Structure 1
């Protein structure tokens, strides 16, 4: 399945001839008819066994599989073979509205055959692919991955001979683009980088309303922020408008705060549910801290001999997080909260967050056409010993139950109603502070076609290429 610019998902005919869903009693059944030409790069046909292995591994029933999310897969009762290997019958014990989200992407059965293969088998390089390109070379010294045309691809021929991905310091990327070393780069929220790439010969900046959101996550499982009154006070002490203006200055985009944890402003169903919890109100924040027993002692508050101090963990070398930390420190100082900014190596940021070794962490959530299913793991209560994607560590049974109803509902209007109900509950718990919908700014060679700032659109990589100058046609 692949999404268009509106976030509507469609089948990809190179892989899937049809997918039919039918409600059956308390559950539902989806019958997939695969393209018989579809093959993995090792020559094996894509089929029933791949679906069965993926459903089993991602169901969450075997704790040895270190999965991030079991939404949807947990509802699958069984996967059956149809008339042949290319007809797959997926039987759900309970209805699942976002069934199109599942098996996209699909992995080969060998990747899920045992927990070790699943957990570590793809760390060095993808052993198998199924598309217009395959992995040609992984160069750890140069920090590049080179994709080359796959001669076994059965669809439209790829327009490019190869695609090279290069990992580099974000600070070095604008220079590399200006020098012609890279032809495509994400500008992000760096106004300085935007100015540099705009000035590059033969380049342009492509824009879209991005599907992603910028947030501050609060560690509700931590010693200080386990008290919901303190979390609410911190959120009321943070001026979201000021943070958005600071982050987006110089980018030429409006600084509008986001009022929803599940939908971004350009998505159907979006509603601003922030209410009193998302406003800037330092006086109300101070009253909450007083009620929680944190009394003012000079510049900062204290309780039982302990200063009210929060660790703001940011990725070193990324200006946006550093600026957010400085602004958060200045704002929370006004209500008596000390903020200690802790830069950590970028590749260890989520290690710290996953371990719960932080109080506040700024980052962006990647949006998808399936906001309920993709964000459910972020706000569902974590099971014992598992974090999944709920980095706040908080949640309630009511939030879980409301999201459960939302992923079951078949009518889009009912889904929107339930998701917004869950969103209001998340605001009350003060787990994550949404800041703004992240704009998508991509620098690209002017002649590079069918790729750039795509928003919800998922490009077909075989269509990426270089536009031919009309004057060359004679």
Structure 2
């Protein structure tokens, strides 16, 4: 059935709609722009990326001892909402902005784009040839999403041009209205779309606290919701007439990120002590209890438990060992002094920052406080507005520990390179722990340049062991995908590794 309005909740209202900006690389932004911007590649349920025919007819790679060239054959009908064809200029502008060569562009990642040597027009205006200075195995991760050249033409337009909305689009939907007061985003079917028409008339995204979503779903105010890790919410939505809970295993994983640039956690002994002092099994059991999923901790920063290539590289750091934590703190000069350890008259305390309206984050903070108190570390839980948690706390480094979930993709290395690559000056990209090493950088570079899957797995896991010893990001568990949807909603829900096609989303009856 065609027509209808999909009512889709968001956990926060983005301040930046440029997904490649450091403040725009969020799940809430991705959910919206996937319906309005070009994605040249889309992953299937097995995490294999394929060209999206509405934008890309084919993409072929030719490798040599000096690098590789990818030839993109674009759909001649593909065009921006301003009438300009999608093509060469857009590739050039995006590659330049995300290369990292001009630090005025506040980018979330330079992975892959930094390796681009040149971009040339091909045999026709619809052919673009991208040459890399080395082999880059995950080249399919690039240019998805693709922004119009004008959006990336200067650092100013890149950083601020997409803060108020989506001025140019090229998808089955277009922006109708963004209401900052009501915190809603309305997309409508775009009559200029050259592909199969979208089945829905419109999609209305509405920001609400995650704690309010089960009630809204039960009252038929929204059509789907990410249950997340709330067992109470799961029980409530499971009783809603006309609703169904879908389950899938995907690439997302829960973690605690430590600010290694902070005055306390800059000492690797203290970071390792905190890791030893946190019983991940306790956290996982509390978070996953009542969800009907196995409780299993995660031992990898690149692969999740169900993914090909996964190895548990945590070693001794994966085990709860408060005695060893105490010895490390002694070595670091933090001596037992009553309830909490002290050093030079200072109490050993850490700020655990959590977003408001997310009960699981607060519970994780309380469990962490109880666990770390056993080794003499005081944990102060700071609840902050959900809209501010990254822009005002995580990105500027205004925290000691922060819990959140990394949303994985079909590409295990490329997205995480921005998380673990050494920061350069104040440009942290997504490395919120603000630490790295030459060995980790080299390991990731070798992995993304390797085309043999077996060799890739070996290189990734070798690098992962280095990251574990760095003790900057503590993986907790693979985050289950539990999504409550209306029974008549099709082609959207718990998708696992599959990336949905927005034009195919619709209702079977209404």
Note the 1:380-459 alignment, pairs <5 A: 380-459=421-500
- Alignment of 1:120 onto 2:160: yes
- Alignment of 1:182 onto 2:222: yes
User: Distance between the aligned counterparts of 1:205 and 1:373, measured in 2?
Assistant: 31
Tell me what 2:54 maps to.
Answer: 14
Tell me what 1:360 maps to.
Answer: 401
What TM-score, normalized by structure 1, do the two folds share? 0.97
- Alignment of 1:372 onto 2:413: yes
> Which residue, 218, 221, 228 being the options, matches 2:268?
228
- Alignment of 1:338 onto 2:403: no
> Which residue, 78, 84, 90 being the options, matches 2:118?
78
Note the 1:91-110 alignment, pairs <5 A: 91-110=131-150
Note the 1:276-291 alignment, pairs <5 A: 276-291=316-331
User: Distance between the aligned counterparts of 1:154 and 1:353, measured in 2?
Assistant: 40
Note the 1:320-335 alignment, pairs <5 A: 320-335=360-375
Tell me what 1:59 maps to.
Answer: 99
User: Distance between the aligned counterparts of 1:119 and 1:418, measured in 2?
Assistant: 35
Q: Any stretches of 5+ residues in structure 2 without a counterpart?
A: 1-40
Task: Report Cα offsets for 1:347-386 as digits up to 9, x if no partner.
Answer: 2211211121211111111101112110011111100121
How far off its partner does 1:107 sit? 1.0
User: Distance between the aligned counterparts of 1:183 and 1:397, measured in 2?
Assistant: 47
Aligned residue for 2:395, secondary structure, equals helix
User: Distance between the aligned counterparts of 1:266 and 1:27, measured in 2?
Assistant: 32
CA RMSD of aligned residues (A): 1.1
User: Distance between the aligned counterparts of 1:340 and 1:125, measured in 2?
Assistant: 37
Note the 1:304-315 alignment, pairs <5 A: 304-315=344-355
> Which residue, 203, 206, 211 being the options, matches 1:171?
211
Tell me what 2:77 maps to.
Answer: 37
How far off its partner does 1:35 sit? 0.7
How far off its partner does 1:234 sit? 0.5
Tell me what 1:472 maps to.
Answer: none
How far off its partner does 1:242 sit? 0.5
How far off its partner does 1:433 sit? 0.6
User: Distance between the aligned counterparts of 1:34 and 1:165, measured in 2?
Assistant: 30
User: Distance between the aligned counterparts of 1:246 and 1:183, measured in 2?
Assistant: 28
How far off its partner does 1:222 sit? 0.9
User: Distance between the aligned counterparts of 1:346 and 1:466, measured in 2?
Assistant: 31
How far off its partner does 1:163 sit? 1.1
> Which residue, 171, 182, 203 being the options, matches 1:131?
171
The ranges of structure 1 where at least 4 consecutive aligned residues each deviate by more than 2 angstroms after the TM superposition are 139-142
Relative to structure 2, which stretch is displaced further, 249-258 or 420-429?
249-258
How far off its partner does 1:160 sit? 1.1
User: Distance between the aligned counterparts of 2:168 and 2:72, measured in 1?
Assistant: 22
> Which residue, 339, 343, 347 being the options, matches 1:303?
343
How far off its partner does 1:5 sit? 0.9
User: Distance between the aligned counterparts of 1:78 and 1:345, measured in 2?
Assistant: 43
Tell me what 2:301 maps to.
Answer: 261
Tell me what 1:217 maps to.
Answer: 257
- Alignment of 1:143 onto 2:178: no
Note the 1:144-159 alignment, pairs <5 A: 144-159=184-199
User: Distance between the aligned counterparts of 2:246 and 2:115, measured in 1?
Assistant: 40
User: Distance between the aligned counterparts of 2:163 and 2:402, measured in 1?
Assistant: 26
How far off its partner does 1:468 sit? 4.3
User: Distance between the aligned counterparts of 2:444 and 2:230, measured in 1?
Assistant: 35
How far off its partner does 1:432 sit? 0.7
User: Distance between the aligned counterparts of 1:355 and 1:153, measured in 2?
Assistant: 39
Aligned residue for 2:423, secondary structure, equals coil
User: Distance between the aligned counterparts of 2:304 and 2:102, measured in 1?
Assistant: 34
- Alignment of 1:25 onto 2:87: no
